[in-house]
Structure 1
Amino acid sequence: MQEAHPNKVTFVLGGVRSGKSRFAQRIASASGSVVFIATARPSDPEMELRIERHRKSRRATWQTLEVPVDLDVAIGSLQDPRQLGVIDCLTVYLANVMSKAQGEESAIKEHTNRLCSALKETKASIILVSNEVGSGVHPPTATGRFYCDLLGELNQRVAALADNVILMVAGIPVPVKGALPVAAQSDFAIDDEVLGAARL
């Protein structure tokens, strides 16, 4: 019989190809009941290949939900304390929400408010993945700057309510808040396995 794990929100941040998705999956591998919540849409051939790589990297026993926008509904469906939800990622989720809301800020924030409320109320544990935008190049367009502002705000809100916040730096997890999950406390050496998973 599986033991119920305490409700915890773990937030994994990092730059592009920093190993954040791989790290989130490593944490999840210690759980017996995983629901992977994918936000990406197959918008072009390159994205289709990327999505397929991510699918192949997951364990066959994990349940996968394709949820581009309504993350609050998906999180709300996790009612078993033994479940672990993995959301990958908020970066794409926000882009999807902006598209659906046609850039209307109030509609976008309504979605993100519901997401944060669902994270507070769920009985399951949740791992979320997102890009750290604060260290990147300042976007040249108004839309790009608006997106980065919104993602930065969302990241701050999720980090504030999370029990653990992990920043991925070149494949190495750095605890920013809380502690590294037990499943990730062994050495994170840069070996062939890490390099082979860098595309995640």
Structure 2
Amino acid sequence: MSTETRLGRVLVTGGVRSGKSRYAEQLLAAEPAVTYVAAGPTYDDADWHDRIARHRERRPDGWTTVETGELAQAVASAGNAVLVDCLGTWLTRVVDEADLWEAPVADVEALVADRTAPLLAALGAAEHPVVVVTNEVGLGVVPGHRSGRLFRDLLGTLNQRVAEACDEVHLVVAGRVLRL
């Protein structure tokens, strides 16, 4: 009998620069094929491009990168292990594309719930390992701007919903991992 544990659906959360992306990559290092889903928006910013380049350099050559906001489709169609990085940037993309940062909260919540439902279904149906990276928010200072408070609240709810669809949740703090 094999003692090898099969990786299922894992949500990896933590603060910015906590080591969560690197840890998520390590979780899938033994997989023969991985689809890396870059879920965020693209910015015409040198720092952003540098950050993306450093992430790409870490990934094995055999990994396939898909840049999309259609997370459900990416998870469902991959046919192999998937790494989604990250829900926070995806959420930003969703609200940016709909131009709803100043809309009534209920309208933004409805949009995010509508966009999240197919992802939750795809996670539930996935027969291959799926690791989803997200940011943990709300542990510090209350944002001074409405958009920051809205983002914090939306991502907190999104994280809870995705965590329910996952088999495990891992919190990364200062490069250390706590399985919740």
Contact 1:40–1:51 (8 Å) recurs in 2: no
Aligned residue runs from structure 1 range 146-157, under 5 A? 146-157=150-161
Moved more, 103-112 or 120-129: 103-112
Distance 1:10 1:118 in 2: 14
Q: What is the Cα-based RMSD across aligned positions, in Å?
A: 1.5
Distance 2:7 2:16 in 1: 28
Which residue is equivalent to 1:64? 65
Structure 1: segments with no counterpart, 5+ residues: 177-200
Aligned residue runs from structure 1 range 29-68, under 5 A? 29-43=29-43, 44-67=45-68
Q: What letter is aligned with 2:63?
A: W
Which residue is equivalent to 1:182? none
Contact 1:9–1:162 (8 Å) recurs in 2: yes
Contact 1:97–1:108 (8 Å) recurs in 2: yes
Which residue is equivalent to 1:197? none
Which residue is equivalent to 1:109? 113
Structure 1 residues 6-65: Cα deviation after superposition (integer angstroms, max 9, x where no partner): 571101000111100000011110111111111233301110111111111100011111
Contact 1:71–1:115 (8 Å) recurs in 2: yes
Structure 1 runs, 4 residues or longer, greater than 3 Å off: none
Report SS of the residue matched to 1:137. Answer: coil
Structure 1 residues 132-186: Cα deviation after superposition (integer angstroms, max 9, x where no partner): 002122111112111111100010111112111100011011110xxxxxxxxxx
Distance 1:143 1:168 in 2: 25
Which residue is equivalent to 2:147? 143
Contact 1:42–1:51 (8 Å) recurs in 2: no
Which residue is equivalent to 2:82? 85
Which residue is equivalent to 2:24? 24
Which residue is equivalent to 2:104? none
Matched, 1:134 2:135: no
Identity of aligned residues (%): 38
